[in-house]
């Protein structure tokens, strides 16, 4: 039996941000041996206090892991962690599985998969939805690209971190679906913002629109969560606008590589960009509303 | 007591299309005396068979009605019915109430309200959501602008046609909220179409995206209904694309009058327009997908 | 011989704004008898001082004219002047020619043409380019739709007001080409604004871009005129932004009636709209730059 | 005196496409010793026949050059040529000057400049306009970023290839201005395409619009060149659409890094993308017209 699939595989975790930390805590609670690394080492404190071992480099994490998780903020961060100085790829064990839960381009996922294969390891792109709340509650949803066999081996671990996973196809398929999903979320919230701007511009309270929305075919959980924030103008970051803006960029890059035009996504991205350019602090993507209400 | 509010007000109904006919049948079933008119008289047959009286002109309908309903396809149609030759306004009774359930501009709603007031009648703009299905089942939702008193008087009738109504403000407020709601619906379906185009362009089955969508924060009743149509490429009109396209135009007109920029709505409207321009037959607005899959 | 074509036809002029006044002065200088009307009568003073007769209504102008010129700000203004109380159509003489140099929709031009025909008069849609400067110097360019015979009769008069005219087709063709031309101008200036925003956002002086532009394939007279204004942020109205915004709306309306998608025009219109919505005073359309530099 | 500035510096040239070949021929005609390399070696034949030396690798070209020119199709191609196996950077001579005339991102230009500096060489980003025609006639225009001293040393060589150069600022400034210029060109041609689609959709010959355009403030050399192609539907590549599409992507990437929203550019890019996605063969960017005329 492969070590990755053993009942208590040794787990590595690189990236201890808003998502990585609660994921790590859930793995420790479930009894897994966990080795971690983060660019800013201070972020590891809570995990170390809970029993994790702090490694000196991504490479050292990989050397210690049957299953290596990475969850960092963007493609350059993943490239640095994998191919940079003392990068994880240089330490990856034969037979291990690398699960990347960052949101990056499908092309980068395929490049990572090829690099893993060269070292006798397997790769899964497995970006998540559910946000900080889902990470804390162990209710993440994984969108997985890669071999079914590798997925089967890590399922016990995914079951600690989340409730559901979808096997969507070959390497890159997880990222492709993730980008498509974030495109939909960004356009839904952007559409609500345009609708609220129109309604309030006409002198009607935005609350009236939200009330009708909630009994309509357009109601959606994301709008239930974000509508009150748009109405109040409170944009403390849950899913930061800068990351949604990045994901829209990745979706547009993919569309432009494939020759698939995405006109509304392109328009919405520039609205998010406008707000990002004017923002002084970190904001939730609900702050797209600031294009109108400054 | 005002005749409009009597326990069995005489009702007029102008516009016997996909919405008007089932509304009329429900009114007849509830025991209301109903006088109807339609530009194409043949469309009145089912209603006449069920007991409605067919009038010779919009004016004749208004002359016979305590409460006059209109539900026609667009602003020019409403203008013709109200101000045209033998138009309804010329027959409107003092003390009657005119309820317009067409989707038109807030400005036209206010103009109709003023014209009613000149004749001693009251006006409510009361566009609906729920589609043909809601009209048949008596489950429409009304978005109402106008005086609360007039609304109170017609509530028994609205209760026959629908389950809910929202009083949203002065004349025009119903139309404003309706346009904002359709903007959201059009952008949600448009976003799903862009996401499907991206995913299938990348060689992944669209069904995979829909599966993930349905367990995500982005899930919405309108997407549950439309996603299978987009996947199958079946676009028999439920809510016709030409009407959604018209409503997006009305929303953009309003935004441009108010100086409220709507970038994603503008982009989406041109996608719907592209499909409308290429279409040979009447299509549901889910056919926005044909921008990519021809 | 028809009176409209006589060597010194009696001319009527309705609309004495930035364009109408200098046009009227040129007609008086050329020896034409001129009857004028303007909604705000005070605007007629300079023309009356120069020999024009001020009429009491649009109707009175039409009654006095072999050739009636109208040049007002938008479609509702033209409708009011033609079909309103004491409107020009009610006074139009048999055999006269109505030349409308406003920028309106092709559909309105065709409606005006039909109304003229009912009264035994002929109509030309003849919107102009050249701005205030062209109106003053008698260097306007006319884009003409309608019958060649009617155009031939008014050519002596057009020769006083401008240097060139183009016969572009049937009624409405002049307006269609005018809207297409303004679309190009608005997008050229909008493109320069986006390019300047990009360059200055990157820390490079906008003057550098303009210098390169002027020796490139992209150079254009409109950019020569507007670039210095964008660089200085000086937007005294020459061609007001609110009128360019209106013309983009007419172009989009036409495209949406025809099923011709105009994605970049739609995007640009919302940028102009954003600036219009935020503007406190009347601005030139070069002020589209204020979307970025507030 | 530095070798790069000597009266007859030895020149290296990497990239022998539609631009590189005529540039190389002009350098040979002017008496410069020229060493060349191209990924597809067959493209070097004409230059070798004219006296150039064909090197075995980018590194070998750099080793032989006082001044190294690169002009390749996109950022990955430049990265490969500089940092790939036997890349040019590994052979660069101390005191030499690397002039990159590719169109790439300002960030890549700065990265190349830093890599040159590490090796004791200097770097200029110097993208060009003028197309194949300008390359053949020696009439290119260079947009230069980098140190004035380095520019001064290569001016004799630039004078062989072109008539003008603009020193626009530090490393990356040349690329930034180039992207801004191509943005303007792409939007001008895109605007003409939208205007033609509108006019022809209304049943008017496109030639009418072009005739008016040519006597208007909107006339531009690029439109003089491209308008006949759009009218005829002839799109043999002069500046290929795939490269313009790439440059719009680079401009949007830059705008999104800087937080500068570019709504019309984003809309236009998706139109170019739509055409690129549907194209079977290599097309000029004037083929943006195929969005409407298929």
Q: Cα–Cα distance between D223 and D228 in angstroms, integer? A: 9
What is the count of residue pairs from B and D with beta carbons less than 8 Å apart?
4
Q: In the complex, which subunits touch D with 3 or more CB pairs below 8 angstroms?
A: A, B, C
Q: Which residue has the tokens 């992944």?
A: B204
Contact status of D242 with chain A (Cβ, < 8 Å): no
pTM here? 0.95
Percent of chain A with pLDDT over 90: 94
Predicted local confidence at residue A292, as pLDDT: 97
Contacts of residue D1, defined as CB under 8 A and 6 or more positions apart, other chains included, come to none
Q: Which residues of D touch B201 (CB under 8 A)?
A: 277
pLDDT digits (tens, 9 = 90+) for A178-193: 999 999 999 999 999 9
Predicted local confidence at residue A205, as pLDDT: 98
Out of C181, C258, C262, the one facing D212 most closely (by C-beta) is C181
Contact status of C267 with chain A (Cβ, < 8 Å): yes
Q: Which residue has the tokens 């897994």?
A: A32
Predicted local confidence at residue B293, as pLDDT: 83
Helix (H, G, I), strand (E, B) or coil at C128: strand
Contact status of B273 with chain C (Cβ, < 8 Å): yes
Taking an 8 Å cut-off on Cβ atoms, the answer to whether D277 and A258 are in contact is yes
CA distances for A194 relative to A48, A52, A63, A152, A222, angstroms: 45, 46, 50, 43, 16
Q: Which residues of A touch B215 (CB under 8 A)?
A: 141, 164
Taking an 8 Å cut-off on Cβ atoms, the answer to whether A271 and D255 are in contact is no
Q: Residues D221, C219: contact at Cβ < 8 Å?
A: yes
Percent of chain B with pLDDT over 70: 97
Residue D1 has pLDDT above 90, yes or no: no
Out of B201, B267, B277, the one facing D267 most closely (by C-beta) is B267
Contact status of A267 with chain C (Cβ, < 8 Å): yes
Chain-centroid distance, C-alpha D97: 19
Mean pLDDT of chain A: 95
The residue length of chain D stands at: 294
Distance from CA of A106 to the nearest CA of D (A): 17
Interface test with C, best of B76, B248, B261 (most C CBs within 10 A): B261
Where do the domains of chain D lie, and which CATH numbers do they carry?
3-170 (3.40.50.720), 176-291 (1.10.1040.10)
Contact status of B268 with chain A (Cβ, < 8 Å): yes
CA distances for A201 relative to A196, A267, B180, D236, angstroms: 8, 21, 11, 49
Taking an 8 Å cut-off on Cβ atoms, the answer to whether B273 and C261 are in contact is yes
Predicted local confidence at residue C2, as pLDDT: 47
Out of C259, C270, C279, the one facing B276 most closely (by C-beta) is C259
Q: Cα–Cα distance between D47 and D36 in angstroms, integer? A: 8
Interface predicted TM-score (ipTM) of this complex, two decimals? 0.95
CA distances for A269 relative to A26, A108, C264, angstroms: 34, 21, 15
pLDDT digits (tens, 9 = 90+) for B204-232: 999 999 999 999 999 999 999 999 999 99
Out of C201, C267, C277, the one facing A267 most closely (by C-beta) is C267
Mean pLDDT of chain B: 95
Taking an 8 Å cut-off on Cβ atoms, the answer to whether B259 and C278 are in contact is yes
Predicted local confidence at residue A293, as pLDDT: 82
Chain-centroid distance, C-alpha B244: 10
pLDDT digits (tens, 9 = 90+) for B256-281: 999 999 999 999 999 999 999 999 99
Interface test with D, best of B263, B268, B271, B293 (most D CBs within 10 A): B263
Predicted local confidence at residue D294, as pLDDT: 67
Confidence category of residue D4, pLDDT binned at 50, 70, 90: low
What is the rounded (10 degree) CA torsion for C178, C180, C181, C184?
160
Predicted local confidence at residue B1, as pLDDT: 37
pLDDT digits (tens, 9 = 90+) for A93-140: 999 999 999 999 999 999 999 999 999 999 999 999 988 888 999 999
Q: Cα–Cα distance between B247 and B105 in angstroms, integer? A: 9
Q: Residues C71, C12: contact at Cβ < 8 Å?
A: no
Q: Digits of tens for pLDDT over chain C (294 positions)?
A: 345 555 689 999 999 999 999 999 999 999 999 999 999 999 999 999 999 999 999 999 999 999 999 999 999 999 999 999 999 999 999 999 999 999 999 999 999 999 999 999 999 999 999 888 889 999 999 999 999 999 999 999 999 999 899 999 999 999 999 999 999 999 999 999 999 999 999 999 999 999 999 999 999 999 999 999 999 999 999 899 999 999 999 999 999 999 999 999 999 999 999 999 999 999 999 999 999 986
Taking an 8 Å cut-off on Cβ atoms, the answer to whether D278 and A271 are in contact is no
Question: Pairing relation of β-strands C128-129 and C122-125?
Answer: unpaired
pLDDT digits (tens, 9 = 90+) for A281-291: 999 999 999 99
Per the structure block, which two tokens stand in for D15?
């990239």
Taking an 8 Å cut-off on Cβ atoms, the answer to whether A273 and D253 are in contact is no
Q: Which residues of D touch A271 (CB under 8 A)?
A: 261
Whether C178 sits among the annotated catalytic residues: the reply is yes
Residue of B nearest to D266 (CA): B267
Q: Residues D82, D76: contact at Cβ < 8 Å?
A: no
Confidence category of residue D2, pLDDT binned at 50, 70, 90: very low
Mean pLDDT calculated for residue range B185-214 = 98
pLDDT digits (tens, 9 = 90+) for D165-216: 999 999 999 999 999 999 999 999 999 999 999 999 999 999 999 999 999 9
Helix (H, G, I), strand (E, B) or coil at D144: strand
Taking an 8 Å cut-off on Cβ atoms, the answer to whether C262 and B245 are in contact is no
- Catalytic residue, candidates C178, C226, C246, C290: C178
Out of D201, D263, D277, the one facing B263 most closely (by C-beta) is D263
Residue A4 has pLDDT above 80, yes or no: no
Q: Residues B104, B82: contact at Cβ < 8 Å?
A: no
């Amino acid at each position: 039996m492969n070590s990755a699939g053993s009942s208590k595989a040794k787990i590595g975790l690189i990236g201890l941000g808003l998502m990585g930390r609660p994921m790590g805590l859930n793995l420790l609670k479930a009894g897994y041996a966990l080795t971690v690394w983060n660019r800013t080492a201070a972020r590891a404190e809570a995990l170390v206090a809970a029993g994790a071992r702090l490694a000196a480099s991504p490479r050292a994490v990989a050397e210690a892991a049957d299953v290596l998780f990475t969850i960092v903020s963007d493609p350059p961060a993943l490239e640095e962690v994998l191919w940079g100085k003392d990068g994880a790829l240089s330490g990856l064990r034969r037979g291990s599985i690398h699960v990347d839960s960052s949101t990056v381009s499908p092309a980068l996922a395929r490049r990572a998969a090829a690099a893993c294969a060269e070292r006798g390891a397997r790769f899964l792109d497995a970006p998540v939805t559910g946000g900080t709340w889902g990470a804390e509650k162990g209710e993440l949803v994984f969108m997985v690209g890669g071999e079914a066999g590798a997925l089967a081996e890590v399922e016990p671990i995914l079951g600690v971190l989340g409730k559901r996973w979808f096997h969507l196809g070959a390497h890159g398929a997880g990222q492709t679906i993730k980008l498509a999903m974030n495109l939909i979320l960004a356009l839904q919230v952007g559409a609500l913002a345009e609708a609220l701007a129109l309604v309030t511009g006409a002198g009607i309270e935005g609350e009236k629109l939200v009330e009708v929305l909630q009994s309509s075919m357009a109601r959606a959980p994301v709008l239930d969560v974000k509508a009150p924030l748009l109405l109040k103008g409170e944009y403390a970051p849950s899913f930061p606008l800068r990351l949604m803006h990045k994901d829209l960029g990745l979706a547009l890059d993919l569309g432009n590589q494939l020759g698939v035009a995405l006109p509304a996504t392109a328009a919405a991205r520039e609205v998010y960009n406008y707000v990002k350019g004017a923002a002084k602090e970190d904001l939730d993507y609900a702050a797209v509303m600031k294009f109108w209400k400054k």
